[in-house]
């Protein structure tokens, strides 16, 4: 699949995500829009996966550590054939398996339950270590938010990944510069990330995380050390009035805003 095709799919995922947030009256739309290009590249180009065999032992692993953008993952999984596309309409409804954070025991394609921040990377380290111990060829990818990197458990995991020589592990930091209530820089500014990861013994690639021609090569990078992609993204990417506005962490568009956003995303299709 070529970057142009991936861009088209990403826009379709954005549009469905927007509709679902509007219909459900809840979601984390800002961080979903920032992450969707990377999710698209993973699921439609990079990951070796079999939607009809979600537990295939040789599948590549993807862990969405920033579990609050579960909806973006659900829409991606639906589009890739893991769950029915019409099921997105049940998002957050009573007894839907599509709750606000992904559940691996209910949703095929989800590897581990996330929601509390700072959990996905340690689990991904275990997955990558298991592949080393068993000789499996799968690769493990994990996406965190940039604010999420404030959780100390991530740094425990970063240290151990280097110690274990996990060259089969890729960490993607969705560096959209905003956390729930404020900008990263006004809260606990861990940026710039690259030197910190390099100091722990990781390879680091910095990219525009909303540009497919930069995302794909970065995800396909193979080196001798754990790999961190610092993905510079825009919160609310693709919807002009949401972009880089902290309010849109989990705000829901009103009817007028929704129409504007639909038009913007549809124009791009």
Partner 1 sequence: MKDVINSPKLHDCRDAFVAVLERLGADNPKVVAVCNDSVGSSKLGGFKSKWPERLVNVGIAEQNMVGVGAGLANGGLLPFVCGAACFLTGRSLEQIKADIAYSNANVKLIGISSGMAYGELGPTHHSIEDFAWTRVLPNLPVIAPCDSIETAAAVEWAAHYEGPVFLRLSRVGVPDLLPPDHKFEVGKANLLRDGDEITLVANGTLTHRMLKAADILAEQGIGARVLNMATVRPIDVDAVVAAARETGAILTAEEHSTFGGLGSAIAEFVVAEAPVPMKILGVPGIFAPTGSAEFLLDEFGMSPAAIAEAAVALIARKSSRT
Helix axes 212-219, 3-24, angle to 10 degrees: 100
Structure-token pair, residue 86? 């019409």
For 113, the 3-state DSSP assignment is coil
Q: Which of 200, 195, 147 is nearest to 173 (CA)?
A: 147
Interactions with partner 1, residue window 27-66 (CB under 8 A): 57, 61
Q: Is 107 in the site for partner 1 (CB under 8 A)?
A: no
Q: Is residue 153 a contact residue for partner 1 (CB under 8 A)?
A: yes
Task: Please report whether residue 76 would count as binding partner 1 according to CB under 8 A.
Answer: no
Q: Which stretch binds partner 1 (CB under 8 A): 81-89, 153-161, 244-252, 253-261?
A: 153-161
Of residues 96, 77, 97, the one with CA closest to residue 85: 77
Is residue 157 a contact point for partner 1 (CB under 8 A)?
A: yes
In the list 34, 40, 112, 179, the residue contacting partner 1 (rule: CB under 8 A) is: 112
93: phi > 0 → left, psi -120 to 50 → alpha, else beta; which? beta
Regarding 134 and contact with partner 1 (CB under 8 A), the answer is yes
Compute the distance between CA of residue 128 and CA of residue 191 in angstroms, rounded to an integer. 26
- Size of the residue set binding partner 1 (CB under 8 A): 36
From 16, 179, 12, select the one nearest 91 (Cα to Cα).
Answer: 16
CB of 60 to partner 1, least distance (A): 12
| Contact call for residue 136 and partner 1 (CB under 8 A) | yes
List residues binding partner 1 (CB under 8 A).
57, 61, 103-105, 111-116, 118-119, 121-131, 133-134, 136, 140, 152-153, 156-157, 159-160, 163-164
């Amino acid at each position: 699949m070529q970057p142009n095709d991936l861009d088209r799919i990403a826009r379709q995922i954005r549009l469905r995500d927007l509709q679902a947030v509007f219909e459900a009256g809840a979601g984390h739309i800002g961080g979903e829009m920032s992450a969707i290009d990377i999710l698209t590249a993973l699921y439609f180009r990079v990951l070796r996966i079999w939607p009809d065999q979600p537990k295939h032992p040789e599948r590549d692993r993807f862990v969405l550590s920033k579990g609050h953008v579960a909806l973006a993952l659900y829409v991606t999984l639906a589009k890739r054939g893991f769950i029915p596309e019409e099921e997105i309409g049940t998002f957050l409804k009573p007894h839907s398996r599509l709750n606000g954070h992904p559940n691996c025991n209910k949703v095929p394609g989800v590897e581990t339950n996330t929601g509390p921040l700072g959990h996905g990377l340690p689990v991904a380290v275990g997955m990558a270590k298991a592949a080393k111990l068993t000789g499996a060829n799968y690769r493990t990818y994990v996406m965190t938010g940039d604010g999420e990197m404030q959780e100390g458990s991530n740094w425990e995991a970063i240290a151990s990944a280097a110690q274990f020589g996990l060259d089969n592990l890729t960490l993607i930091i969705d560096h959209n510069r905003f956390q729930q209530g404020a900008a990263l820089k006004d809260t606990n500014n861990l940026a710039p990330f690259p030197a910190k990861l390099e100091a722990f013994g990781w390879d680091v690639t910095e990219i525009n995380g909303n540009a497919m021609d930069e995302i794909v090569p970065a995800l396909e990078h193979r080196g001798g050390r754990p790999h961190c992609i610092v993905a510079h993204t825009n919160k609310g990417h693709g919807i002009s009035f949401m972009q880089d506005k902290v309010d849109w962490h989990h705000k829901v568009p009103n009817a007028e805003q929704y129409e504007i956003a639909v038009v913007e995303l549809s124009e791009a299709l």
